[in-house]
A and B are shown apart, each in its own frame.
Chain A
Amino acid sequence: MTIVTGVTCPVCGTFCDDIELVVENNVIVDVKNACAMGAAKFLNYATHRNLKPLIRKNGELIETSLNEAVGKAAKILADANYPILYGWSCTSCEAIRVGLELAEEVGGVIDNTSTVCHGPSILSVQDVGIVSCTLGQIRHRADLIFYWASNPWSAHPRHIERYTMFTEGRFQKSTWKGYISRLGGVLSRKRLRRAANLVLRRDIPATPKIERHLPYTMFQKKRKMVVVDTRKTRTAEAADYFLQIEPNKDYELLQVFRMLIQNEELNVDKVAGVPIELLEEVADVMLDCKLGVFFFGLGLTMSEGKHRNIDTAISLTRDLNQRTKFLIMPMRGHYNVTGVNVVFTWQTGYPYAVDFSRGYPRYNPGETSVIDILSRGESDAGLSIASDPVAHFPREAVQNLVKNPLIAIDPEVTPTTLMADVVIPSSFMGIETEGTAYRMDHVPLPLKKVVEPPKTCLSDVEILQRILSQVRKLRRTSN
């Protein structure tokens, strides 16, 4: 039995690197420090895995040899006019580098999950820049934390305890105790209300939206958290201020904040469903802080306005820097989606949606991005790696993806592997293979190898290298 410490968790962008695993007979039997998702991954990853390469013959997926699967995959890519190579966010930087070489060799389009996630954030950065930092700066210095259109409780469970409210920094203390006592108050109020409803057989309204437990001045020295969301999520329950915003109205609210911090007066009662007095109070809090940060999520990238929402959020951050220190950071979803953008950029100059069909990298989201290519039915083959487009792309895009030859490289059985024509099983990155990945704040950390993979499951790097050399062979013989 061995205990492995300092394991990095290959799930979400929080990329915790303090996981401890207990390994016995090549099986992970216990996990410490991980959140529910991390624990689920480390203890259950092998439950639904692909162990053998598969090829579709007569409509059915049948087992085959690795050589045949690699050969078929290479032929599909080499023969295609405009193949798309998609995914990449759940594998290592080393694998991504080989993937870019492969995409360049076949003259295809290589795209990653940013295209349906924080792509708009990247577009905004390209327009206005971004004022950011590594997460330690927040932990040490931030006394005002915004979660805008982001719900770390569900998507980045340890974010708050590792980097923001519930952690100790050099210049700031944790607010854990304050939260516990407040939570106690909230829970007992809820219990009382439920009891009252049962007794009186009618609804007693919940506490009003504007919650103020103690006068603002009492929190002067402590960290404060503000949540802006369309629903009162669990994260919002822990917040000092919760602004319940109407859907698709983030742009207006952000612009209003930009006006309020410049001391402009507004002649309205509400903006986006939030009373103006509350907004004025929050604007004052923003100006009075020592260091504030906006963490924003997909609520900004996916709703109306898309990259213009983030453009405004970054501009608000920039404006605030005239008066105090303010930073902004997107909450990246997958553990290496930042790494994917980083590697793409250093090799091609562009972070996603890179088109190699003319022999050099071209970039034009809306034209060279995968959803658009699929919507227009322009691609004639596809490779999916470390991702599940069949589960997560809109239906029409998926229909155009599966009607052409599709290769899937994945350790697990997923809707994509079920619909693919060639399935090549790979080893689990960060558990069975080592590599490098980048946290949401651009800090690169090592992925560890903790157990041995099955012999039939090679690493993504090896599989891609084999396909690449086979493609080159095919090209040489055809020339």
Chain B
Amino acid sequence: MPKLKVILLTGRTIDQGKGKEYGKLSREYWESVTICFLDPKDLKVLEVKEDENIKVTTKSGSVVMKAVKSARSPHPKIAFIPYGPWASIIMNQKTHGTGMPSLKGISAEIEPAPKGKVLSLSELLNKHYKVKKS
């Protein structure tokens, strides 16, 4: 399967901004934060069409997201993911003594994930954070 090394940026989008005001449990929010914007040329290299699933992996972890063609191209080998619980799985928590984790400019690898599923919010919380508590 083709793989692509990218630099990952996380940030705000207007849809994510609207979605979080609708509520973090809303469909609008889920749709706005489980996507990864890629340059159309990068999509070709990965042999992935828009709306198909991809797996994004960094040193900190990996997560399955939906690929979206970026309207902001050209930006080859740069991927953009909106802030949210999915982006948080793959962020680098090292602060290098500044208190600030690295949330932009992270090295990542992207590959197609035709069999992968984009988790729902509760599935994601269960998978990564479920803790037995009394």
Shortest CB distance B41–A (Å): 10
B12 and A371 contact, CB distance less than 8 A: no
B88 and A399 contact, CB distance less than 8 A: no
CB proximity to B under 8 Å, residues A343-386: 353, 365-366, 369-372, 375
A412 and B129 contact, CB distance less than 8 A: no
Report the bound CA distance from A237 to B61 in whole Å. 34
A394 and B75 contact, CB distance less than 8 A: no
Q: Is A115 an interface residue (CB 8 A)?
A: yes
Interface string of B53-65 (1 = CB under 8 A from A): 0000000110000
In the complex, chain B residues whose CB is within 8 Å of the CB of A116: 100-101, 103
Q: Is A283 an interface residue (CB 8 A)?
A: no
In the complex, chain A residues whose CB is within 8 Å of the CB of B89: 395
Contacts A44-B23, A231-B72; A353 near B99 (Cβ below 8 A)? yes
Q: Is A97 an interface residue (CB 8 A)?
A: no
B85 and A391 contact, CB distance less than 8 A: yes
In the complex, chain B residues whose CB is within 8 Å of the CB of A353: 99
Interface string of B87-100 (1 = CB under 8 A from A): 01111111111111
A154 and B14 contact, CB distance less than 8 A: yes
Report the bound CA distance from A401 to B61 in whole Å. 18
A414 and B12 contact, CB distance less than 8 A: no
The one of A154, A391, A394 in contact with B13, judged by C-beta atoms closer than 8 angstroms, is A154
Residue picked from A233, A333, A390, A415, most chain B C-beta under 10 Å: A415
Report the bound CA distance from A369 to B100 in whole Å. 8
In the complex, chain A residues whose CB is within 8 Å of the CB of B122: 418
Shortest CB distance B43–A (Å): 14
In the complex, chain A residues whose CB is within 8 Å of the CB of B24: 48, 388, 391, 412-415
Interface stretch (choices A16-24, A178-186, A301-309, A319-327) = A301-309
B18 and A36 contact, CB distance less than 8 A: yes
B102 and A391 contact, CB distance less than 8 A: no
In the complex, chain A residues whose CB is within 8 Å of the CB of B132: 59
In the complex, chain A residues whose CB is within 8 Å of the CB of B83: 392
Looking across the interface, which residue of chain B has its beta carbon closest to that of A417?
A: B24
Report the bound CA distance from A370 to B100 in whole Å. 9
B104 and A375 contact, CB distance less than 8 A: no
Looking across the interface, which residue of chain A has its beta carbon closest to that of B6?
A: A247
Shortest CB distance B11–A (Å): 7
A119 and B78 contact, CB distance less than 8 A: no
The one of A37, A48, A154, A390 in contact with B25, judged by C-beta atoms closer than 8 angstroms, is A48
Looking across the interface, which residue of chain B has its beta carbon closest to that of A11?
A: B21
B104 and A157 contact, CB distance less than 8 A: no
In the complex, chain B residues whose CB is within 8 Å of the CB of A397: 93, 101
In the complex, chain A residues whose CB is within 8 Å of the CB of B88: 391-395, 398
Which interface class (under 10, 10 to 19, 20 to 34, 35 or more) fits A?
A: 35 or more
B12 and A247 contact, CB distance less than 8 A: no
Shortest CB distance B55–A (Å): 16
Contacts A45-B21, A231-B75, A415-B121; A396 near B60 (Cβ below 8 A)? yes
A398 and B129 contact, CB distance less than 8 A: yes
Contacts A37-B14, A40-B22, A302-B100; A391 near B7 (Cβ below 8 A)? no
A394 and B92 contact, CB distance less than 8 A: yes
B125 and A301 contact, CB distance less than 8 A: no
In the complex, chain B residues whose CB is within 8 Å of the CB of A375: 93-95
Report the bound CA distance from A304 to B12 in whole Å. 19
Interface string of A116-130 (1 = CB under 8 A from B): 100110010000000
In the complex, chain A residues whose CB is within 8 Å of the CB of B7: 247-248
In the complex, chain A residues whose CB is within 8 Å of the CB of B14: 36-37, 153-154, 157
Contacts A231-B72, A247-B78, A302-B100; A366 near B18 (Cβ below 8 A)? no
Q: Is A218 an interface residue (CB 8 A)?
A: no
A48 and B26 contact, CB distance less than 8 A: yes
Q: Is B114 an interface residue (CB 8 A)?
A: no
The one of A36, A56, A120, A413 in contact with B100, judged by C-beta atoms closer than 8 angstroms, is A120
Shortest CB distance A72–B (Å): 12
In the complex, chain A residues whose CB is within 8 Å of the CB of B115: none
Q: Is A408 an interface residue (CB 8 A)?
A: no
Interface string of B72-84 (1 = CB under 8 A from A): 1111001010011
Interface string of A234-250 (1 = CB under 8 A from B): 10000000001001100
Report the bound CA distance from A413 to B125 in whole Å. 14
In the complex, chain B residues whose CB is within 8 Å of the CB of A299: 9, 11, 104
Report the bound CA distance from A443 to B88 in whole Å. 32
Shortest CB distance B24–A (Å): 5
Interface string of A47-82 (1 = CB under 8 A from B): 111000000111100000000000000000000000
CB proximity to B under 8 Å, residues A212-264: 230-234, 244, 247-248
Report the bound CA distance from A399 to B61 in whole Å. 13
Report the bound CA distance from A372 to B99 in whole Å. 6
A154 and B17 contact, CB distance less than 8 A: yes
A115 and B75 contact, CB distance less than 8 A: no
A232 and B72 contact, CB distance less than 8 A: yes
11 A–B pairs (Cβ distance < 8 Å), ordered by A? A40-B22, A151-B12, A231-B73, A247-B104, A299-B9, A365-B98, A366-B98, A392-B85, A393-B88, A418-B125, A421-B133
Top 4 A-B pairs ranked by shortest CB distance? A48-B23, A369-B99, A365-B99, A394-B93
Given contacts A302-B103, A388-B24, 9 further A-B contacts (CB under 8 A): A11-B21, A48-B22, A231-B72, A247-B78, A303-B105, A369-B95, A395-B88, A402-B131, A413-B25
